[in-house]
Amino acid sequence: MTRRSEPIFNVPAVVIAVIAACVFVHLARAYALSDDEDIEFLVTFAFIPARYSSTAVLGELPGGVGADIWTFVTYAFIHGSAMHLVFNSIWLLPFGSALARRLGTVRFLAFFAATAAAGAALHLATNLGSVQPVIGASAAISGFMAASVRFAFQRGGPLDMLRGPDAGSYRVPAVPLLAALRDRRIAVFLGAWFALNLLFGVSTLAVPGMEQAIAWQAHIGGFLAGLLLFPLFDPVAVPQPDDRSGSGGENLSPPQ
């Protein structure tokens, strides 16, 4: 019997839910809030480094201590324009779907929060006192891209040319980070990704729909978090050297 490949447009529900949440926030800002209400919304839920500076000139911002915490994640659901939202959604669909199929809903959402927070943290460390709000899901998407390379290029993985992207291809064991970095395809991908983001940092290149400067440090923070933290979220067991089952040690149990 011929193995049926997984439909290419079978997007996991949690990915659709994240995109829907971003769309809802954008439409609410555009059509339900006045200009003053939108400004208050942004300073309450966008990530603003000046919140954490004792020399900030903005005064006390709404949200208090709670906003000091939740804005590390909530900024990822806010976008500057419809084009910005579409651009991020296009990238979220493939990389978010790959991670959702592997991690499951709960781990996926936790990983989204962790990579978004890591992006905000690195942006904060490099932009202390800045009053410019940071918005957009790019840091979390960067984390998804980094995490995907830990398994997508492996034999039997979704990007393995010898095997179609069926459900099992998203469950192949990930290789250790150092081993992954020795893979030429992964090294080229990482080099190109970092070069592009550093180029954004030193030039005036813009992403369609983005009127403000690109928070490239947040992208790098999310990417590094995705690369390094992936094993903490990955439910697929790594084969042990003494495994004699003959199956290669692949754990195909469904994610929790």
Domains by residue range for the chain, with CATH:
13-233 (1.20.1540.10)
Residue 107: pLDDT over 60: yes
Mean pLDDT of 99-111: 95
pLDDT of residue 47: 95
pLDDT of residue 196: 75
pLDDT of residue 239: 62
Mean pLDDT of 169-175: 78
Highest mean pLDDT: which range of 84-98, 142-156, 157-171: 84-98
Cβ(83)–Cβ(26) under 8 Å?
Answer: no
Residues in the chain: 256
Coil, strand or helix at 134: strand
Give the residue with greater pLDDT, 114 vs 208: 114
pLDDT of residue 3: 47
Residue 59: pLDDT over 90: no
Cβ(170)–Cβ(104) under 8 Å?
Answer: no
3-class SS shares of the chain: helix, strand, coil, % to 5: 60, 0, 40
pLDDT of residue 202: 57
Residue 175: pLDDT over 90: no
Q: What is the pTM of this model?
A: 0.81
pLDDT of residue 172: 80
